Structure 1
Amino acid sequence: MKQARRALPEVGLIVEGQTEFVALPKLARLLDGCPLLRAINLRGVGAERPPIGIARLAAPHVIAHQAAGRSRIVFCLDREERKECPGQLAQAVTSALTTELRSRGRDPKGLAVVVADRSFEAWILADARGLFKGGHFKAAPKFTSFEGHLGKRNNKGLDELADLLGRPYVKTVDGPKLFEALSFATARTFGPGRHGSRSLDKLLRTLGV
């Protein structure tokens, strides 16, 4: 099984921060059929940066992945407090990035943009019940689905995770560990009465799993 995964072409990944940089490449060993993910960390995009600004920030890293021979590149960013829905934001960034790459003489083929709604932490909270049952949380969640919510103090899941953990949530330490412990089948199942995340499902479908 591991040999089959290694045979898949590498996918270039571009992320906003250190938590995603550590967590998302774990998918290659957590999910059958997921390709190896080679990540580049933008170290922040900012909630106010417009699509063209995001595109100019990301373009050099797309080009770096292309230069390394990666024909598929996934740019993953957070919706944060933006009013656009994840699909609208992804479409706007894709359009701006396509224009920016072509202006630099580069082909945008194979590029995909995925927007976490509203943050990476929403993906962890998509399986909050499973994490509680597995002993990762001290408290049981009281919400149905956290997808799209800003949460307490508009902290986009940070306070909710602290409540569930019974202590402060440390993004770069707790985030990757909790992500690795997810039941992805549960966390990606969304819809009425479900607890999962549509945007996590979008990421996994984009990666072919």
Structure 2
Amino acid sequence: MKLGLIVEGHGEVHALPILIRRILQELSSDGPPQILPPYRVPRGQLVKEAELHRAIEFMARRVGDEGRILVLLDSDDDLPCVLGPKLLGWASVKRPNRRIAVVVAHREYEAWFLASADSLKGKRGLPLDLTAPLEPESIRDSKGWLSKKMPGGYSEALDQPAFTSAFDLRAARRANSFDKLFRDVGRLFDLDVPPRPEHGGGP
């Protein structure tokens, strides 16, 4: 079985396959799928129906009849609960014979790092006393939040894959959009997903 990934950012091209493998391992997937190299489509195109249709058709042909497709993009200033279902509707109309999931990271992918920031202490220059913000998905510039705390600043190309390999998946599920990704990966492959862990309030 093949999994096709459609992403908007350069960093996700390298980071998302790492993340999907980690989630599948967490869900105890016995026969992990073949994860194809992500297909990058700029966000401005990905949120247009005709362009999304082209991307879905391209990926549907690559994954084959039994394949799955996952679309991931940042919400920026859009509401994930509005944008996600709209894009999923377009994608499903184009390819109703494929199992498809659309996940919209609230604000940015990096908000998931903020949600689990305690697990990234000391990594790639982050301070040892790093603490996760109370509402990570409410921060408009997650990349900037990280960059201010790193001596050399945050590099999407280098740091996004590195942090993706290290952040605590369970802690990150307190971010609603990451929890949706976690659940959607389970749904795509018919895997049981444990309930979201309870997290106390942060500083």
Is contact 1:17-1:41 (8 Å) kept?
Answer: no
Whose RCO is larger (CA < 8 A, sep 6+)? 2
Tell me: CA distance 1:28–1:140, structure 2 relative to 1, closer, same or farther (3 Å).
closer
Kindly state the Cα deviation for residue 92 of structure 1 after the two structures are TM-superposed. 1.2
Q: Choose from 22, 25, 41 the match for 2:17.
A: 25
Tell me: CA distance 1:108–1:39, structure 2 relative to 1, closer, same or farther (3 Å).
farther
- Is residue 159 of structure 1 aligned with residue 144 of structure 2? yes
Q: Choose from 89, 98, 113 the match for 2:102.
A: 113
Q: Please list the CA deviations of residues 137-166 of structure 1 after superposition, one character each: whole Å capped at 9, or x if unmatched.
A: 12523622311331xxxxx21110012223
Tell me: CA distance 1:135–1:119, structure 2 relative to 1, closer, same or farther (3 Å).
closer
Name 1:37's counterpart in structure 2.
Answer: 35
Structure 1: unaligned runs, 5 residues or longer: 1-8, 151-155, 191-196
Structure 2: unaligned runs, 5 residues or longer: 187-192, 194-203
| In structure 2, distance between residues paired with 1:35 and 1:124 | 25
Secondary structure of residue in 2 paired with 1:165: coil
- Is residue 205 of structure 1 aligned with residue 190 of structure 2? no
Tell me: CA distance 1:180–1:40, structure 2 relative to 1, closer, same or farther (3 Å).
same
Higher deviation after alignment, 136-145 or 124-133: 136-145
Quote the sequence identity (%). 28
- Is residue 76 of structure 1 aligned with residue 72 of structure 2? yes
Is contact 2:106-2:137 (8 Å) kept?
Answer: yes
| In structure 2, distance between residues paired with 1:39 and 1:50 | 17
Tell me: CA distance 1:114–1:142, structure 2 relative to 1, closer, same or farther (3 Å).
closer
| In structure 2, distance between residues paired with 1:116 and 1:36 | 23
Q: Give the 5 Å matches for 1:138-153.
A: 138=127, 140-141=130-131, 143-150=133-140
Is contact 2:105-2:178 (8 Å) kept?
Answer: yes
Is contact 1:72-1:110 (8 Å) kept?
Answer: yes
Kindly state the Cα deviation for residue 23 of structure 1 after the two structures are TM-superposed. 0.4
Q: Choose from 155, 158, 171 the match for 1:186.
A: 171
| In structure 1, distance between residues paired with 2:104 and 2:167 | 19
2:146 aligned partner, one-letter code: L
Tell me: CA distance 1:128–1:61, structure 2 relative to 1, closer, same or farther (3 Å).
same
| In structure 2, distance between residues paired with 1:135 and 1:19 | 16
Kindly state the Cα deviation for residue 178 of structure 1 after the two structures are TM-superposed. 0.8
| In structure 1, distance between residues paired with 2:167 and 2:57 | 32
> Once superposed, what is the RMSD of the aligned Cα atoms?
2.4
TM-score, normalised to structure 2, is: 0.77
Q: How many residues align?
A: 178
Name 2:196's counterpart in structure 1.
Answer: none
